[in-house]
Amino acid sequence: MKTLKIAIQKSGRLNEKSVEILKNCGLSFENYKSSLISTVTNFPLEILFLRDDDIPEYVQDGIADLGIVGENVITEVNADVTYLQKLGFGKCTLKIAVPNESEITDVSGLEGKAIATSYPVILQKYLDDNNVNAVVRTISGSVEIGPGLGLSDAICDIVSTGGTLKSNGLKPFGEVMKSEAVLIASKGMELNEDVIELLQRIRSVLLAKE
């Protein structure tokens, strides 16, 4: 049987809880910040540490059998994967935010404005649903500095604690999408006894938490 592979976020909001849930499943592995792959010593499993944005495609293409990633990232790339389980952590909301001094207070105020985001597909759908025409500027990270640099009038990004917005002088409005961490699987994954055992362990860990 080939060794199963699970992809989790290398660093960021979901990393710590992703590692924790696997450890709580009784899996033993090293979690060095520098290594991108870790072999579980007491279960036929390899853990791939990747950028969260890349996880849906790795799983869709079957490079990884399983993945732990935010729903927002899956929706953005419209990945063709199987949803196995919501994981109850990494809860956040994709929101619009503008500088504290901005006069824009709702979605209609975005007409004709420029919005910076790492989620152009989700944002465009939200704008279309609200009949708003705006310029979407796609950037891969540090979106929060967009308005300060004159790149955009607003941003659309993940808000969890709200700390990042606050420290960049931005205030949020609107609810573009709610999201949390989910366990996904490749559609081509063979449902062998190792997979079944691992899924059972993950579900027991989640049940024990309720």
142-146 long-range CB contacts below 8 Å, 24 or more apart?
Answer: 143/116, 143/117, 143/118, 144/97, 144/168, 144/170, 146/116
Q: Shortest distance, CB of residue 200 to ligand PRP, whole angstroms?
A: 29
Query: Can you tell me the distance from the alpha carbon of 56 to that of 7, in angstroms, rounded to the nearest whole number?
Result: 9
Could you tell me which stretch among 16-24, 35-43, 50-58, 79-87 binds Zn ion (CB under 5 A)? 50-58
Instruction: Choose the contact partner of 150 out of Zn ion, ligand PRP, none; CB within 5 to 8 A by kind.
Output: none
Question: Given the complex with ligand PRP, which of 150 and 163 has the nearer CB atom?
Answer: 163
Instruction: Choose the contact partner of 170 out of Zn ion, ligand PRP, none; CB within 5 to 8 A by kind.
Output: none
Binding Zn ion (rule: CB under 5 A), the pick from 17, 44, 53, 125 is 53
Query: Can you tell me the distance from the alpha carbon of 4 to that of 160, in angstroms, rounded to the nearest whole number?
Result: 31
The site string for ligand PRP over 67-106 (x = CB under 6 A, - otherwise) reads ----------------------------------------
At which residue do the structure tokens 């949020």 appear? 172
Rounded to the nearest angstrom, the gap between the alpha carbon of residue 119 and the centroid of all alpha carbons in its chain is 11
Q: How many residues contact Zn ion, by CB under 5 A?
A: 2
**Residue 161: exposed, middle, or buried by beta-carbon count in 10 A (0-12, 13-18, 19+)?**
exposed
Q: Which residues bind ligand PRP (CB under 6 A)?
A: 12-13, 52-53, 141, 157-164
